[in-house]
Structures are given as structure tokens and as C-alpha cells.
Amino acid sequence: MNERGDIGNNDNRGNNARDGNNGRRGFIAAAATLTTLATLTLAPGIRLIQIAAARPEEEAASAAVRWGLLIDVTRCQTGCEDCVAACGKENGLGEVARPRTDAQWIRKIDLKEHATGRALSLPMMCQHCAHPPCVDVCPTGASFKRADGIVLVDRHICIGCRYCMMACPYKARSFVHEPHTDQNPEVPRGQGCVEGCTLCVHRIDRGETPACVAACAAAGHAAMLFGDLNDPASAISQRIREVRTTVARADLALDPGVRYEGL
Amino acid sequence: MAALSAPAAPPIETRPRTGVFIGLLAAGGLFLLLALAAFLHFEHSGHIATGMDNQIVWGIPHVFAVFLVVAASGVLNVASIGSVFGKPDYKARAPLSGLLALTMMAGGLVVLAADLGRPDRLLVAVTHFNFKSIFALNMLFYSGFFAIVAAYLVTLMNRRLNPYARALGFLAFFWRLALTTATGSIFGFLIARSAYGSALMAPMFIIYSFAYGLAAFLIVQSAMYAWNGLASNARVLARMKNLLAVFVGAALYFTVVMHLTNLYFAKQIAYERFLLLDGGVYTTAFWFGQIGLGGVLPLALLLIPGAGQTRVVIASALVTLGGLAQMFVTIVGGQAFPLDLFPGHAVSSRFQDGIVNAYAPVPGEFALGFGGFAFAFLITVIAVRVLPFLPRDAADASALKTTD
């Protein structure tokens, strides 16, 4: 595991400080306690305190990491929209009052298989593709992929041409149709720009899981698993090795960072 | 090469009467003002004030804008046929062709810029380039188009620089082919939606541009002749009429091939069924607008013997209307059809998944679109007032000396 670690796994950096003198032992003991607290898992994917995996601010995102999500469709509950509500709250999107024009970074989709009539429900958001069409088509480079695989929009150079919305096969992007107030300072938004799921990059950089993942766990469904796809030891990688998973529109070969299990 | 230089014709013949000129300026100005009002309203309130939403992200303004851009590249063909292929009848029309190419391109781009979410960031658009984006490449093509066609126009109209006209004409011709290839590829490169993602888009847009551009040229030329009390040269008109018929026929051919190939691919059948049968306004716009009014009817008007100036102008106007219908079908219809998110499944959500997306454009969107036409119209009216752009044929004007 690299320095940033995988939030899906326990991290205990405090164990490295074992060879100090007696005077430091008390401190170390306290640190170990704190570390234990920090790694205390309230529910799968959610921690009481999450400091250990945070990346220092001055350190750039690393291509050694590829953040991803695994969504277990068999655990996702029809009618449950906790992930959607958590996303809206975390990112200052507010309630969806006008479904046609309000931003929806994540949405619940109900599926029914034509052949069998099997009904499913799953969350759909930016799939954080390795080959994102939105990034390819963006004229100014405002749509970009961070080194760790998170696809983002630079709000400073988005001109609002909406070509990325034409290009996204997942309809994962929203356009800010009207002025907004009461924003989350960590998630700046602006009228006339395109936006979409950031995978809660501000939380990831603090060493936390995305808000939707936390909310799903808090609801007891634990249908969303977040972690480093590049780390063979991460829970998400292990799970993907163990069970059959698939991606949406696999035929397009975009290599999305979001995978679905049980689809 | 002297023929390329427009003659110094008597002012009374080449300029519309002052009253007419003022009237035309006022009419164009009114439309431009309406567009400006719409722009300011949308800019202030956001796109919530338009009929566009997160499903139909490009609406009526794009229909007008892309039509103007495509027609602008096509209208330059008249000059190209003169300079590149050496046809004297077309050389006499090269300056007007170049002028219209510039003004229509400007009109289209103004609408595109006005419909941006952040039109105040135009400077960002010309300072930050993602070279993998066909949209960014289009911006380079548009800028180059202005520079090349402007230089070409100067060589056409300045006798001293006339020897360079042929070389620049070649450059402009190839540039405009590349430009329309890029414009068609804006849609051709979209893998997400059933309506797009086809290599045919590029050549199809080129042939569309031939038809729309020549139709626009014929309308403007006829209007200018009418202002000046001149009759069109029957021989030249007959040639241009036949050429328009060839272009309209070729446009129909490409449209048929596009949909026939789609019908062959099982995954495209649902979209074709939507467009050709069940798509409501889009089906109507396709059959009645693009194919009927914009294709079959003008072909009949042009090919049934005895077509005079009036019939050619009506046919040209129909081709223009059909062109707008085609852009509506391509741009809005392509977005109205739902994305196939999970093939083999019916999908539904609060984000309008799995349903045909509704779109009710507001009048301001049409105002913005017509503003693009008004912008092109105003520059053209002023330009033909101050400079000799009126096409003059050897048979009509003894002042015109053809030497090649």
C-alpha cells in the first residue's frame, strides 16, 4: 500500500514509533489509543476519526492510486435514496425541486430486465472513466482526470459549452442553470458551468470516504465499497477478484472506475 | 486574372437605394436588438430561462448556429468553383461568396458564444486548448477561416493582389473542407448517443454545406439583383440551379445511406424507429421538413423544366428551411432519444432516464438564433453598400473585362 493508503483498509502509522525512550512511551501509548480510535470502524467504510490516510496538502495526487467504487446491486434498496440525499447535502446541491434543471450528481435508477422482468435499483453517477469522453471533448481542458483517476471540472476554465454533457454516455453531468447561494466552501459551484460527481474529492483528500458511501453504510445497506483499485490488498480489489462485477456500457471500453456487482 | 477583380460599377447600380438601405438596416437591427435582449436575459437569469435542461443541453440556438456555420463554409464553394476550378461565371461571384462566408460564419459563432453558460469566458476559450477536442480544433478552424477568407477576399478585390487569388482560393477551399469535416465530427465523435457516433457525419455535413451555402448564395444574389433592378443572367442561373439540384440530391443520398446503415445495426433500430416513425415533432421535422420541404420539393422545383429566378429562389428558401429542420432533427432529436444506459433493461429515474426528453424552446431562443442571421445580414448589407460585391457577368456589364 502506498503512503496515502486505502481508506477501505486499516492504517496504523503510529506503530512505527516504537523505538523511542521511556519518556516517549506514554505519548506513544496515547498515540496508539488515538490511532485505534481513528481506525475504529462504525460500519464498513465509515470511521469515527479519519486522519491516518489523509494526504498532505502539498503532496500531489498520485497515479499509483486509482480510486474506485464497487456497488453491490443486490444490497442496494429500491426506494432508498440516502446516497442521493447525502451527496446533495455534502456538495451543497440542495433538494431536487426541479428535476429537469437541478443538478443531480448521483441518482437512483430502477432497472427492469426485458427478458426476465428482474427488477433492480442502483445509483448512477460519474463513472470516473480511465478514458473519459468528457475530457476528450472539452475544448478548454476544464474537464480533466486527476492522477488518481478522479474526473473533475475546473470551474475556472469551464465555459459552459456543455459538449461534455453531449459526450457522457452515463448522463452524469449537470449544468448549473441558475444562480446559487448557500454553497459549501469546499465545493464551489457557479451558474453557467458544468459539474458532476467529484467522488467527494475534498473528503478523499482528507482521508474520508465519499458521502454517498458513508450514507449507504450508515443506512446499514453497505452496498457501496470505496477504495484503491490499484492496491491488490484493498478491500475493493479483493472483492473484485472474488466476485463477478461489471461496468455500465462495457461495450464502450471506457474503463470506468465504478463497477457493479450483481447486475 | 483580372476577371477576379470586381469592376468599378456605377454606384446607382451596385447599391440599393438609400431608403431601402435604411429599411434593411432597421429590420436587421430590430432582430439583432431582440437577440441582444434575449442574450442579456439568459445571461442574467441563467439557462433556467430557456427551454433547455440537463437532458436537451443544446437547443434552438445551436440549431441556428450550426446551420450558419455549415452554410458559411458551403457558400464559399461558389468562389472555389471560380478560383480552384477556373469557371468564369463563378469567378464573377467570388467576392460575394467570400463576403457571405465571413458574415454567416460570424453570425453562427456569435450565437454559439451567446449560448455559452459563461460567455464572459470567451477569452478562456481562445487561450486554453485541449487539442484532443474536436471542438477546440473547430475554434482554430473558424479563426483560420476568417483570416484565410479575408485575405482571399482582398486578393479578389484588389487588382494589384489579384495574382495571389488562385493560391489563396486553393487554401480556402481545402481549409473549408477541413472545417466542415471538423464541424460534422462534433457529432461524429460522440459515442454516447445513438444518433451520432458515425464517420458519415463529416462527409454528410460537407454535402449539406454545399447545398445550404449555394441556396443562401442564390437568395442573396437574387435579392441584390432585385434591389438594383437587374435581372439574373439566365444562362448562369440555369447552371447554378442545376448545381443546387445536384447538391440537394447528394444531401438526400447521404441521409438515406446514414439511416439505411443504421437500420442494419440491431442496436440502432430503436433510434431509427423513433426518428422515422414514433418521434412526434422530430419525425415530422425529418419527413416533412428535412426530406419533403428541404429535399424532394426543391428538387422538383429545380429539375422540372422552366425554372426561372422566382422558382430558384423559392427552392433555395426551401433548402434553407430544410437545413434548419435537419439541424433540429440532428441536434435536438439526437438528444431527445434516451441514452441506452443498460442495454437489455428498461430504466427509469428522477433524472428522466429511459424516456424521450421533452423540449419546449422559449421565444428568446429563437430570437437568439434569428439574431445570428440578423448579424450576418447587417454586415452583408453594409458591405455591399460600400464595396462592389454585386456579381456582374460579362454579358450583363460591359465594364467587366474577362481576360482568362
Q: Residue B230: its pLDDT value, please?
A: 83
Residue B271 confidence class, pLDDT cut points 50, 70, 90:
very high
CB-based contact, B270 to chain A, within 8 Å:
no
Residue A183 confidence class, pLDDT cut points 50, 70, 90:
confident
- Shortest distance between the Cα of A59 and any Cα of chain B, in A, equals 25
- Inter-chain CB proximity A192 and B47 less than 8 Å: yes
- Inter-chain CB proximity A176 and B46 less than 8 Å: yes
Q: CB-CB: which of B58, B118, B121 is closest to A166? A: B58
Q: Is the pLDDT of residue B15 over 70?
A: no
Contacts of B46 in chain A (CB under 8 A): 176-179, 191-192
- What are the pLDDT digits (tens) for B278-324? 999 999 999 999 999 999 999 999 999 988 899 999 999 999 999 99
Which chain A residue lies closest to B343 (C-alpha atoms)? A249
- Shortest distance between the Cα of A263 and any Cα of chain B, in A, equals 10
Q: The dihedral of CA B109, B110, B111, B113: what is its sign?
A: positive
DSSP state of A120: E
The x, y and z cell numbers of residue A177, run together, are 442553470
- Inter-chain CB proximity A99 and B351 less than 8 Å: yes
Higher pLDDT, B231 or B63: B63
**Angle made by CA atoms B364, B215, B380, in degrees to the nearest 5:** 65
Indicate the average pLDDT of chain B: 91
Q: CB-CB: which of B46, B124, B186 is closest to A191? A: B46
Q: Which helix (H) or strand (E) holds A240?
A: helix A235-242
Q: Is the pLDDT of residue A43 over 60?
A: no
CB-based contact, B396 to chain A, within 8 Å:
no
DSSP state of A14: G
- Inter-chain CB proximity A99 and B352 less than 8 Å: yes
Query: CA-to-CA distance for B182 and B198, rounded, in angstroms?
Result: 13
CB-based contact, B33 to chain A, within 8 Å:
no
- What are the pLDDT digits (tens) for B325-376? 999 999 999 999 999 999 999 999 999 999 999 999 999 999 999 999 999 9
Mean pLDDT of B75-86: 91
Q: CB-CB: which of A108, A175, A263 is closest to B349? A: A108
Q: Is the pLDDT of residue A170 over 60?
A: yes
Query: CA-to-CA distance for B242 and B246, rounded, in angstroms?
Result: 6
Q: Is the pLDDT of residue A46 over 80?
A: no
Q: Is the pLDDT of residue A6 over 50?
A: no
Which chain B residue lies closest to A160 (C-alpha atoms)? B117
Q: The dihedral of CA A247, A252, A256, A258: what is its sign?
A: negative
Q: CB-CB: which of A136, A171, A252 is closest to B351? A: A171
- B 138-167 → A contacts, CB under 8 A: 138-139
Query: CA-to-CA distance for B192 and A252, rounded, in angstroms?
Result: 8
Q: Residue B14: its pLDDT value, please?
A: 52
Residue A120 confidence class, pLDDT cut points 50, 70, 90:
very high
3-state secondary structure of A111: strand
Q: Residue B11: which residues within 8 A CB-CB, separation 6 or more?
A: none
Residue B231 confidence class, pLDDT cut points 50, 70, 90:
confident
Query: CA-to-CA distance for A63 and B349, rounded, in angstroms?
Result: 34
Q: The dihedral of CA B224, B381, B384, B144: what is its sign?
A: negative
Decide if B301 contacts B314 (C-beta within 8 A).
yes
Spans of all domains in chain B: 2-386
Instruction: Delineate the domains of chain A, giving CATH numbers in brackets.
Output: 67-261 (3.30.70.20)
Q: Is the pLDDT of residue B404 over 50?
A: no
Q: Is the pLDDT of residue B4 over 80?
A: no
CB pairs under 8 A between A and B: 175
Q: Residue B287: which residues within 8 A CB-CB, separation 6 or more?
A: B276
Q: Residue B84: its pLDDT value, please?
A: 86
Neighbours of A72 (CB within 10 A): 21
Residue A14 confidence class, pLDDT cut points 50, 70, 90:
very low
How distant is the alpha carbon of residue B189 from its chain centre?
A: 20
Q: Residue A21: its pLDDT value, please?
A: 45
Distance spanning both ends of chain A, measured CA to CA: 30
Residue A57 confidence class, pLDDT cut points 50, 70, 90:
confident
Contacts of A161 in chain B (CB under 8 A): 116-117, 125, 135
Give the residues across from A194 on adjacent strands.
Answer: A175
The hierarchical CATH code for the domain B2-386 is 1.20.1630.10
- What are the pLDDT digits (tens) for B207-219? 999 999 999 999 9
Residue B16 confidence class, pLDDT cut points 50, 70, 90:
low
At B290, the amino acid letter reads: Q
Q: Whose CA is closest to A232, among A11, A72, A73, A9? A: A9
Q: Residue B307: its pLDDT value, please?
A: 84
Higher pLDDT, A144 or B6: A144
Q: Which of A140, A156, A158 to mutate to test the interface with B (most CBs of B within 10 A)?
A: A140
How distant is the alpha carbon of residue B162 from its chain centre?
A: 28
Indicate the average pLDDT of chain A: 84
How distant is the alpha carbon of residue B237 from its chain centre?
A: 21
Percent of chain B residues topping a pLDDT of 70: 93
- Inter-chain CB proximity B48 and A101 less than 8 Å: yes
- What are the pLDDT digits (tens) for B116-164? 999 999 999 989 999 999 999 999 999 999 999 999 999 999 889 989 9
- Shortest distance between the Cα of A125 and any Cα of chain B, in A, equals 11
Q: Show the 3-state SS of chain B.
A: CHHHCCCCCCHHHHCCCHHHHHHHHHHHHHHHHHHHHHHHHHHHHCHHHCCCCCCCCCCHHHHHHHHHHHHHHHHCHHHHHHHCCCCHHHHCCHHHHHHHHHHHHHHHHHHHHHCCCCHHHHHHHCCCCCCCCHHHHHHHHHHHHHHHHHHHHHHHHCHHHHHHHHHHHHHHHHHHHHHHHHHHHHHHCCCCCCCCCCCCHHHHHHHHHHHHHHHHHHHHHHHHHHHCCCCCCHHHHHHHHHHHHHHHHHHHHHHHHHHHHHHHCHHHHHHHHHHHHHCCHHHHHHHHHHHHHHHHHHHHHHHCCCCCHHHHHHHHHHHHHHHHHHHHHHHHHHHHCCCCCCCCEEEEECCCCCCCCCCCCCHHHHHHHHHHHHHHHHHHHHHHHHCCCCCCCCCCCCCCCCCC
